Amino acid sequence: MPVIPSSACAKAILFGEHAVVYGEAAIALPISNLRVKALCEPGIGLPSGTVIIQVPNLGLDTSLQAMDRGHPIALAIRGTLEALEIQAQPSFCLRVNSNFPFKAGLGGSAALAVAISRSLSAFLGHPLNTDAVNCVAFQSEVAAHGSPSGIDNSVISLEAPLYYIKGEKNIILKPKKNLSFLIADTGLAKKTGEIVSEMARKTQTDLQVRAIMAEIGAIAKSGRYAFEEGNAKELGLLMDQNHALLSQLGLSCPELDKIVNSARQAGAYGAKLTGGGRGGCALMLIEQNQQETIHKKIIEAGAKQVFVFILAGSGA
Ligand code: PMV
């Protein structure tokens, strides 16, 4: 069986996290330089059907057989086998590594599922197409987060900037100009599933929360044009507004606010939390020649790691 390393990118939500769960628009970006890599190798000498799973980033060294059936990784493996209509899997070793933190708002769980599905289906000689991988990853996301919007698995499996509305066709966006971003990790692991459930309760019972979700969706809608134009100034203003609304929902935290404020003071176009919130990462849109200055300031403000990513524009 072929041993083909596969990978999946991380993601950042530019506008619309949480609101996207309630049918509002959102924009998500692939981060191609941050990746989860997965490799399936024949399980030589292992008892028939045994699957060894090693994910050092999660401290996992186990087997599929010993894993809870509802574990997101077990679902990614079983979902892939089901999609390929394989009843009895061969023995194999699955090794997964990531160069970005999990539980940090960068779509780690979806990237894990996409990379596993790609690697396993290639190993079995029938690489699944993007739609099938996306479906497998969505099922795994349900186990990881409860009721995900589907934005993470979609942007990661397509690896393209997306204008996303739950249940509607994915719209791929292309900015005319390069956009430079920094991502700062607070080092605080966030619990997206719990936060999403809390927001679901509030959205049902509190009209003001529902109104804020709609305002966030409106930001994503107007941000679409600014994004396609590559209008960094406008995008930055909208990012700041989006962060303020997420803060009103209680989704920021002092660590995120400190980073976001220091990035703005150091000259970023805009800054906001990205992903589930109350920890995880902040996303900043910057002028490329200010990268070093802003990087230094956000480290001083407490960021544990900083990642750089540039979204290539079409130059149109
Ligand atoms: O924190 P992450 O990377 O899992 O992102 C979650 C995004 C949410 O909008 C909060 C949830 C969702 O399913 O869309």
Question: What are the tens digits of pLDDT across the range 258-299?
Answer: 999 999 999 999 999 999 999 999 999 999 999 999 999 999
Residue 220 has pLDDT above 80, yes or no: yes
Among protein residues, the one whose CA lies closest to atom 13 of ligand 1: 148
Give the whole-angstrom CA distance, residue 77 versus residue 60.
15
Give the whole-angstrom CA distance, residue 43 versus residue 20.
41
Q: Count of CB atoms within 10 A of residue 291's CB?
A: 17
Question: What are the tens digits of pLDDT across the range 121-160?
Answer: 999 999 999 999 999 999 999 988 888 999 999 999 999 9
**Residue 109 CA: which ligand 1 atom is closest?**
4
Which of 127, 138, 105 lies closest to 10 in space, CA to CA? 105
Among protein residues, the one whose CA lies closest to atom 3 of ligand 1: 105
* Helices 232-248 and 207-229, axial angle in degrees (round to 10): 170
**Residue 147 CA: which ligand 1 atom is closest?**
13
H/E element, 237: helix 232-248
User: Which among 152, 153, 164, 242 is the best mutation to test ligand 1's pocket, defined by most ligand atoms within 8 Å of the CB?
Assistant: 152
Q: How high is the pLDDT of residue 316?
A: 65
Give the whole-angstrom CA distance, residue 131 versus residue 77.
16
Q: How high is the pLDDT of residue 175?
A: 96
Q: How high is the pLDDT of residue 2?
A: 67
**What pLDDT band is residue 1 in, cutting at 50, 70 and 90?**
low
Give the whole-angstrom CA distance, residue 277 versus residue 253.
8
Residue 231 has pLDDT above 90, yes or no: yes
Q: In what order do the strands lie in the sheet with 305-311?
A: 270-274, 281-286, 179-185, 305-311
CA of 185 to the centre of ligand 1 (A): 16
User: Which among 9, 109, 151, 274 is the best mutation to test ligand 1's pocket, defined by most ligand atoms within 8 Å of the CB?
Assistant: 151
Following DSSP, what letter does each residue of 88-117 receive, concatenated?
SPPPEEEEEEESS-SSSSS-HHHHHHHHHH
Question: What are the tens digits of pLDDT across the range 189-214?
Answer: 878 888 999 999 999 999 999 999 99
Q: Report the predicted TM-score, pTM, of the whole model to 2 decimal places.
A: 0.96
Question: What are the pocket residues of ligand 1 if the criterion is a CB atom closer than 6 Å to any ligand atom?
Answer: 17-18, 20-21, 105-107, 145, 148-149, 151-152, 192, 196, 275-276
> Taking all residues of the chain, what is their mean pLDDT, rounded to a whole number?
95
CA of 151 to the centre of ligand 1 (A): 8
SS3 assignment, position 294: helix
Whole-number percent of the chain with pLDDT over 90: 90
Give the whole-angstrom CA distance, residue 122 versus residue 100.
24
